[in-house]
Chain A
Amino acid sequence: MSTISDPPKGSFRLSMLLNDTRYRSMTLQVIAAIALALALAYLYSNLAANLRAFGLNISFAFLGNAAGYDINQTLIDYTSQSTNLRAAFVGIINTLLVAFLACVTATVLGVIAGVLRLSNNWLVRKLMSFYVEIFRNIPVLIWIIIIFTIMTVTLPGPNEFRGDNATSSMLFDLFAFTNRGVYIPGPYFTRGFGGGEGSALNWLMVLALLAGSFFGARFVTARASRIQEATGVRPGTLLPNLTIWFLPLIAFALVFGLHWDIPELKGFNFSGGIKIGAPLIALWLALSVYTGAFIAENVRAGIQAVSKGQTEAAAALGIRQGRIMSLVILPQALRVIIPPLISQYLNITKNSSLAILVGYADITATLGGITLNQTGRAIECVLLLMAFYLIISLTISAVMNVYNKSMKLKER
């Protein structure tokens, strides 16, 4: 019944590339791509020619040379005799650490503030909008400086903990808050596998136990749901879950002799325990409260995007007020919240490069700061930095996009 006949098939002529709408856009795109490639090639040859003119060459050999400087926060073994490459890795790990910590706290803070901003309580609502407006409208750089300065100026130096009439004392004799950082007790194992000292292997075991508990707890919950669907009565899950989470850990701790290393004042500084340096705290807090304010707005927007009918319907079914939010509204709001959340995580990672301001040894401070300075290899270092941030950002983006896909409304 079709009345549309196929267009006449003429032979292909060169002029069709411009005149025929089927090919025109393709032609233009090819031209644009070639022009772009030429422009990039010109920029590169310009750079290479200028470097040659100054007698400089691009070489990454410096990465293998000894760095020569010390770093104050090293999560992997590092001395001043290690290579520049290792110094860069120390920086990468520090960057990832602060970015991870800040992402977690910013999300918690943002979700709480975002939900409370829609509270029916006038005071809570206003307090939260006060928080959001104050923190997102002042540059994060200033927040970092403020928190760091407050820490160094108001907290006591380790000296003030000394002597019989010390002006400061440790909290519960466990925690020391000084202007160089916070010292907390650190756990360690006195017995390792095969009878020796405790080692990293113990910690891997702890991780394995936690993973096991996680899946065990999930199984218990799933079983409870199954029984509930079949019989209408949900068996108690609290006790089995608590047992699954804590019993193996406690048993492990007893068998391998878990002890706590309490920080104590020795020489100029506290030693023992875990030190969380002032720069890390300042950076972590500042990034969290700053980005938390943005996330709060995302969360609020997401919740408001869910139709009010959903709340009313849930209430009509007799669901309690608090559970409406967690069971009905938030799961739907997540679809709106996640895409902008990705950009906030990217922002945190990139803003962590402001670490240099407070002397936190992130990748910008080690590779892009001291190494760059001491070797004079500016272009190489900056290229590596760009590559690092690009890779990290793309990875975060990819992971969050997968999560976003899994949360999306499945349309069939």
Chain B
Amino acid sequence: MKKSIILGALTIAGLSAVAASAGTLDDVKARGKLNCGVTTGLVGFAAPNASGEWEGFDVAVCRAVAAAVLGDATAVEFVPTTGKTRFTALSSGEIDMLARNTTWTMSRDTDLKFDFVGVNYYDGQGFMVPKALGVTSVKDLDGATVCIQTGTTTELNLADYFRKNNISYEPVPIETNAEGTQQYLAGACDTYTTDASGLASTRATFEAPNDHMLLPEIISKEPLGPLVRHGDNEWGDIVMWTLNALIAAEELGVTSANVNEMAAATDKPEVARLLGTEGDLGAMMGLDAEWAKRAIETQGNYGEIFAKNLGEETPIGLARGLNAQWTDGGLLYTPPFR
């Protein structure tokens, strides 16, 4: 009796070892939950709302993937990560994907062994100052004290930009956005620098947002996007095409409101292929036919997600800018669904 229990335990251990070494897709399906790495709290991108549910622009990507893979947009375990812990969390397998306004750089893609699956926000590094400081340009900031999140590309951009323009500064390294906000508001630093979208979202949480302004200079390119571990291409494809589906849906005019009637009757072949009424694009990735339909139905298309979390109607009030569809003069351009 005793022996058989031990043998049974060994078998199960052996089986689970096999399961663990299979693809991320199977892991997620077996677990019934998607582990998604997000920020520790940046309103508009990822932050818990008043009732404790995570919401935001990056959160919507996680939920769309969960809806596509598991059929349930709420089956997501959100793992808050800091600028420093995010990559370790992903490479160790603690999270299945990272959607944490992370800049796509060559060394992260190659040296750190990750795959960026696309860009969900084209951003650039900006500076926020109190209006009372009387500064109108970054070049006026000679000798200023600058709050900067450590372990980010912005840290390196900052050093490069100030060196190039031959102005000095004193860095105040901070760990999280909340800490940066506290230091900035207490006046421990003259200016706070990070991605312009992050600054806008941080400013929206201030008591008096109008006392602060963003300086006109954008000193870097920051293409932010979700990423997965290098080497599991099946899983990378799923995250990539879920993001593409959201972007394509806006281009094709599919919204969360009309997705069901579009699926029932559409005269556009690409919409039919996207929503799974024609062809078997889902099956090619190991998903069912309605994967994209569920993602769009629960989260809305890219335009809806943007408007709901970051758009001009929200306190953050970001314009689409570079993040408009290519047909509207922006950079969003997905490969065709075919």
Within 129-154 of B, Cβ neighbours of A (below 8 Å) are at 132-133, 141-145, 150-151
Q: A72-B172, A359-B150 given; name 19 further pairs at CB < 8 Å.
A: A55-B113, A56-B113, A69-B159, A69-B171, A70-B159, A80-B160, A152-B182, A152-B183, A152-B188, A153-B186, A159-B133, A180-B145, A267-B143, A268-B144, A269-B145, A369-B151, A373-B151, A374-B155, A376-B108
Separation in Å of the A376 CB from the closest CB of chain B?
5
Q: Which of B91, B141, B172, B186 meets A359, CB within 8 Å?
A: B172
Separation in Å of the B180 CB from the closest CB of chain A?
10
Q: How many residues on the A side are at the interface (Cβ–Cβ under 8 A)?
A: 35
Q: Which of A79, A159, A376 meets B87, CB within 8 Å?
A: A376
Task: Given A72-B170, A361-B173, decide whether A369 and B159 contact each other with a Cβ distance below 8 A.
Answer: no
B187 CB–A CB distance under 8 Å: yes
Q: Which residue of A lies closest to B159 (CB)?
A: A80
Q: How far is the CA of A404 from the CA of B133 in the complex (A)?
A: 57
Q: Which of B113, B155, B186 meets A54, CB within 8 Å?
A: B113
Q: How far is the CA of A374 from the CA of B153 in the complex (A)?
A: 8
Q: Per-residue 0/1 for B190-204: is the Cβ within 8 Å of any A Cβ (1 yes, 0 no)?
A: 100000000000000
Q: How far is the CA of A268 from the CA of B189 in the complex (A)?
A: 9
Q: How far is the CA of A80 from the CA of B188 in the complex (A)?
A: 22
Separation in Å of the B179 CB from the closest CB of chain A?
9
Within 150-181 of B, Cβ neighbours of A (below 8 Å) are at 150-151, 155-156, 158-160, 162-163, 169-175
A278 CB–B CB distance under 8 Å: yes
Q: Which of B142, B171, B175, B186 meets A152, CB within 8 Å?
A: B186
B53 CB–A CB distance under 8 Å: no
Give the bracket for the number of chain B residues in contact with chain A.
35 or more
User: Which are the 3 A-B pairs with shortest beta-carbon distances?
Assistant: A157-B187, A373-B151, A80-B159
Separation in Å of the A282 CB from the closest CB of chain B?
12
Q: Which of B83, B169, B189 meets A70, CB within 8 Å?
A: B169
B12 CB–A CB distance under 8 Å: no
A45 CB–B CB distance under 8 Å: no
* Residue numbers in B under 8 Å from A69 (CB-CB): 155-156, 159, 171
7 residue pairs of the A-B complex, CB under 8 angstroms, read A70-B169, A80-B163, A180-B172, A267-B143, A269-B143, A369-B150, A376-B108
Separation in Å of the A227 CB from the closest CB of chain B?
57
Q: Per-residue 0/1 for A354-370: is the Cβ within 8 Å of any B Cβ (1 yes, 0 no)?
A: 00110101000100011
B84 CB–A CB distance under 8 Å: yes
* Residue numbers in A under 8 Å from B186 (CB-CB): 152-153, 157, 179
B207 CB–A CB distance under 8 Å: no
Task: Given A152-B183, A369-B151, A370-B151, decide whether A68 and B173 contact each other with a Cβ distance below 8 A.
Answer: no
Q: Which of A72, A156, A376 meets B173, CB within 8 Å?
A: A72
Q: Which of B87, B112, B143, B188 meets A266, CB within 8 Å?
A: B143
Q: How far is the CA of A376 from the CA of B170 in the complex (A)?
A: 25
A109 CB–B CB distance under 8 Å: no
Q: Which residue of A lies closest to B162 (CB)?
A: A70
Q: Per-residue 0/1 for A225-255: is the Cβ within 8 Å of any B Cβ (1 yes, 0 no)?
A: 0000000000000000000000000000000
B267 CB–A CB distance under 8 Å: no
Q: How far is the CA of A69 from the CA of B171 in the complex (A)?
A: 9
Task: Given A69-B156, A72-B173, A153-B186, decide whether A374 and B142 contact each other with a Cβ distance below 8 A.
Answer: no
Which among B108, B113, B159, B162 has the greatest number of chain A C-beta atoms within 10 A?
B159
A374 touches B151 (CB 8 A): yes
Q: Per-residue 0/1 for B297-336: is the Cβ within 8 Å of any A Cβ (1 yes, 0 no)?
A: 0000000000000000000000000000000000000000
Task: Given A54-B113, A152-B183, A373-B151, decide whether A72 and B143 contact each other with a Cβ distance below 8 A.
Answer: no
B188 touches A179 (CB 8 A): yes
* Residue numbers in A under 8 Å from B83 (CB-CB): 373
Q: Per-residue 0/1 for B104-121: is the Cβ within 8 Å of any A Cβ (1 yes, 0 no)?
A: 000110011100000000
Which among A72, A157, A266, A359 has the greatest number of chain B C-beta atoms within 10 A?
A359
Separation in Å of the A115 CB from the closest CB of chain B?
38
Q: Which of A71, A179, A271 meets B171, CB within 8 Å?
A: A71
Q: How far is the CA of A157 from the CA of B187 in the complex (A)?
A: 6
Which among A153, A180, A378 has the greatest number of chain B C-beta atoms within 10 A?
A180
* Residue numbers in B under 8 Å from A370 (CB-CB): 150-151, 155, 173
* Residue numbers in A under 8 Å from B187 (CB-CB): 156-157, 159, 179
* Residue numbers in B under 8 Å from A156 (CB-CB): 187
Q: How far is the CA of A278 from the CA of B145 in the complex (A)?
A: 13
Within 46-79 of B, Cβ neighbours of A (below 8 Å) are at none
A359 touches B170 (CB 8 A): no
Separation in Å of the A151 CB from the closest CB of chain B?
9
B88 CB–A CB distance under 8 Å: yes
Task: Given A268-B145, A370-B151, A373-B150, decide whether A278 and B188 contact each other with a Cβ distance below 8 A.
Answer: yes
Q: Which of A68, A71, A180, A359 meets B156, CB within 8 Å?
A: A68
A81 CB–B CB distance under 8 Å: yes
Separation in Å of the B93 CB from the closest CB of chain A?
11
* Residue numbers in B under 8 Å from A81 (CB-CB): 163
* Residue numbers in B under 8 Å from A357 (CB-CB): 175
Q: How far is the CA of A157 from the CA of B172 in the complex (A)?
A: 14
Q: Which of B84, B111, B145, B163 meets A373, CB within 8 Å?
A: B84
Q: Which of B159, B173, B182, B183 meets A365, CB within 8 Å?
A: B173
Separation in Å of the B210 CB from the closest CB of chain A?
19
* Residue numbers in A under 8 Å from B182 (CB-CB): 152
Q: Which residue of B lies closest to A151 (CB)?
A: B188
* Residue numbers in B under 8 Å from A376 (CB-CB): 87, 107-108, 111-112
Q: How far is the CA of A55 from the CA of B91 in the complex (A)?
A: 12
* Residue numbers in A under 8 Å from B132 (CB-CB): 159
Q: How far is the CA of A157 from the CA of B145 in the complex (A)?
A: 11
B160 touches A68 (CB 8 A): yes
